[in-house]
Structures are given as structure tokens and as C-alpha cells.
């Protein structure tokens, strides 16, 4: 294979290969997590709700899947010593910590609301 063939192959490979693997990985992880939500709801509640596919909340967490895929992809592409990997890991930790807190408080609010429903507003 000559130099011209190698250049042509490299050009073709860059034209066919995705330009930003980290972004594609993150978006794909988000899409897969959203796609799985109706199935996990069905397994848990024995009720099919296809609206879960486009709603926020529930498991699996699309936010956590997105930032985890982003950090993993950056780590694999650029190495764990890269500044961009550090930023992605910190972002992932903040998002997952925040999601955990929101789920905890949403659960507590649901308990309080169901208590009001049982006892009334008196």
C-alpha cells in the first residue's frame, strides 16, 4: 500500500468515524437509559408506561448514565491524567450526588403527601 493509499484510507476513516466519540457515548448512554425506563417500571410495578421513556426521574438515571459515559469515554480517549477527564469526573460526582439527594427528598415528600391523603388536612 503506497502513501497515497494510506492518505486516502485515513481520510475515509476520519470521514466515516464519529467526530466526537465522547459526545456520542454520552448521548447514546442517555438514550439507552431512557429506553430502559418502561421496562424497569414494568418489572417493579407490573405496569407498562411508555411515557416513562420521555419523562425525567425513575431508574435507570439518564443523568447519571450520561455523565458516567462521558467521563469513561474521555478517560479512554485522552487518559486519566488529562484535565478534561478530571473535569468530567467532578461533573459526574456532582450530578450523581445531586440526583441522590433529589430522589431522597422526593421520596420523603411522597410519604408526607400520602400521610395527608390518609389522615386528611385537618
Write out the DSSP string of 78-120. Answer: H-TTSHHHHHHHHHHHHHHHHHHHHHHHHHHHHHHHHHHHHH-
Residue 78 lies in a domain: yes
pLDDT of residue 84: 96
Structural domain contains residue 4: no
Q: Residue 40 falls within a domain, yes or no?
A: yes
Q: Is 116 exposed, middle or buried (0-12, 13-18, 19+ CB in 10 A)?
A: exposed
Cis peptide bond upstream of 94, omega within 30: no
pTM: 0.67
Domain annotation covers residue 87: yes
74 in a domain, yes or no?
A: yes
Q: State mean pLDDT over 41-66.
A: 80
Outline where 17-82 has alpha helix (H): 21-45, 62-78
Q: Please, what is the average pLDDT of the chain?
A: 80
Q: Please give the residue range of the domain that contains residue 89.
A: 20-119
Is 111 a member of any domain? yes
- Distance (Å, whole) CA 16 – CA 32: 23
In a domain, 12, yes or no: no
pLDDT at residue 92 greater than cutoff 70: yes
Q: Count structural domains, the chain.
A: 1
Amino acid at each position: 500500500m503506497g502513501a497515497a493509499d494510506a492518505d486516502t484510507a485515513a481520510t475515509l476513516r476520519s470521514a466515516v468515524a464519529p467526530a466526537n466519540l465522547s459526545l456520542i457515548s454520552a448521548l447514546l448512554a442517555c438514550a439507552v437509559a431512557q429506553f430502559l425506563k418502561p421496562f424497569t417500571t414494568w418489572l417493579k410495578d407490573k405496569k407498562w408506561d411508555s411515557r416513562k421513556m420521555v419523562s425525567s426521574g425513575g431508574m435507570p438515571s439518564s443523568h447519571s448514565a450520561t455523565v458516567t459515559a462521558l467521563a469513561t469515554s474521555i478517560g479512554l480517549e485522552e487518559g486519566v491524567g488529562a484535565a478534561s477527564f478530571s473535569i468530567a469526573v467532578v461533573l459526574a460526582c456532582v450530578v450523581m450526588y445531586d440526583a441522590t439527594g433529589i430522589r431522597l427528598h422526593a421520596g420523603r415528600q411522597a410519604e408526607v403527601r400520602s400521610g395527608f391523603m390518609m389522615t386528611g388536612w385537618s
